[in-house]
Amino acid sequence: MHKVDIPKWAVDRVIERRGTAHPYADLDPARTALIVVDLQNGFMVDDVAHALCPMAVEVVPNVNRLAAAVRRTGGRVAWIKNTHYPAWITMYAKMRPEKIAKRIESMSEGSTGHQVYPELEMKPEDMVVQKWRFSAFLPESSDLAVRLRAAGCDTVLITGTVTNICCESSARDAMMMNFHTIMVSDGNAALSDEEHNASLVNFYVTFGDVMDTDFLIGCLERNAAPREAAA
């Protein structure tokens, strides 16, 4: 697991700008969606991966726990599948031919690499969404934002891999498209602790909230309880 390190200056800057260390501790569980970014074999299984991120396997238990808590408290889970898109010129035009071939093989619909990692517990009521860019929220990439709004979700929890690439781009765009956005510190995986922490710190200081799995489950359960009692 990554050694998560959010320095004190970052926490201080958040408190100065927002008045609290966790602006989204008051999230509404019924309007919350867990976004699981690219936890596919193509990033997690050595012999099929075009871009192996060994740390991704280690976040699986936290993602499963969080998914169960989100469903239990009335929210939705969306499994994002990164998918080969031939017309993405800036992705492919300058890549080495053997890298291109490997990525196409790994990220094409129907391939082993494209499938969600088998230990992740997907349920029939979850959404499965294909995306064609790094970010899941650009309209050019997927219909995720439209589907989330239709489902009444205004808060997104970002988990998956790679922290500073697809997860951070998704989180940045989600926030700019007006979703309350929380990156899960021990639910994302990068190639190094350095990249993981740089991404989290940058996101936390300016873009949105960062919480760990236990803290987040606490918020979901605490905020769901009064609503259940009132119902």
Partner 1 sequence: MHKIEMPQWAIDRALERRGKPHPHEDLDPRKTALIVVDLQNAFMIEEVAVAYVPVAVEIVPNVNRLAAVVRATGGKVFWIKHTIDSGSLTSWSEYLGMLTPGTREGQLKNLAPGSRGHDIYSTLEIKPVDEVVQKYRFSAFVQGASDLPQRLRAEGYDTVLITGTVTNVCCESSARDAMMLNFRTIMVSDGNAARSDEEHMATLATFYAIFGDVMDTDYLIERLQAGAGMRLAAE
Segment contacting partner 1 by CB under 8 A, of 58-66, 74-82, 109-117, 200-208: 200-208
Residue from 123, 143, 151, 206 that binds partner 1 (CB under 8 A)? Answer: 206
CB 124 to partner 1: min, Å = 31
In the three-class reduction of DSSP (H, G, I as helix; E, B as strand; rest coil), residue 178 is classed as coil
CB 68 to partner 1: min, Å = 27
Residue from 6, 11, 21, 23 that binds partner 1 (CB under 8 A)? Answer: 23
Nearer to partner 1 by Cβ, of 117 and 132: the residue is 132
Please list every residue from 120 through 179 that binds partner 1, using CB under 8 A.
Answer: 133-135, 138-141, 164-165, 169, 172-173, 175-179
Count of residues engaged in binding partner 1, rule: CB under 8 A: 42
CB 89 to partner 1: min, Å = 5
- Determine the Cα–Cα distance for residues 129 and 181; give it in Å rounded to an integer: 18
Please list every residue from 61 through 120 that binds partner 1, using CB under 8 A.
Answer: 87-91, 93-96, 99
CB 141 to partner 1: min, Å = 7
Residue from 83, 106, 181, 213 that binds partner 1 (CB under 8 A)? Answer: 181
- Kindly write down the DSSP assignment for every residue of 81-150, as one continuous string: EE---TT-HHHHTTS-HHHHHHHHHHHSTTSTTTSBPTTS---TTSEEEEESSS-SSSTTT-SHHHHHHH
Report which of 89, 65, 93, 67 is spatially closest to residue 79, judged by C-alpha positions: 67
In the three-class reduction of DSSP (H, G, I as helix; E, B as strand; rest coil), residue 32 is classed as strand
Nearer to partner 1 by Cβ, of 48 and 138: the residue is 138
CB 40 to partner 1: min, Å = 17
Q: How many CA atoms lie within 13 Å of 215's alpha carbon, on the beta-carbon side? A: 16
CB 14 to partner 1: min, Å = 10
The two tokens of residue 98 are: 């053997």
Identify whether the C-beta of residue 22 lies closer than 8 Å to the C-beta of residue 209: yes
Identify whether the C-beta of residue 140 lies closer than 8 Å to the C-beta of residue 83: no
Cβ neighbourhood burial of 57 (10 Å; 0-12, 13-18, 19+): middle
52 touches partner 1 by CB under 8 A: no
- Determine the Cα–Cα distance for residues 36 and 20; give it in Å rounded to an integer: 27
CB 113 to partner 1: min, Å = 17
Q: Which residues bind partner 1 (CB under 8 A)?
A: 16-19, 23, 87-91, 93-96, 99, 133-135, 138-141, 164-165, 169, 172-173, 175-181, 192, 195, 198-199, 202, 206-208
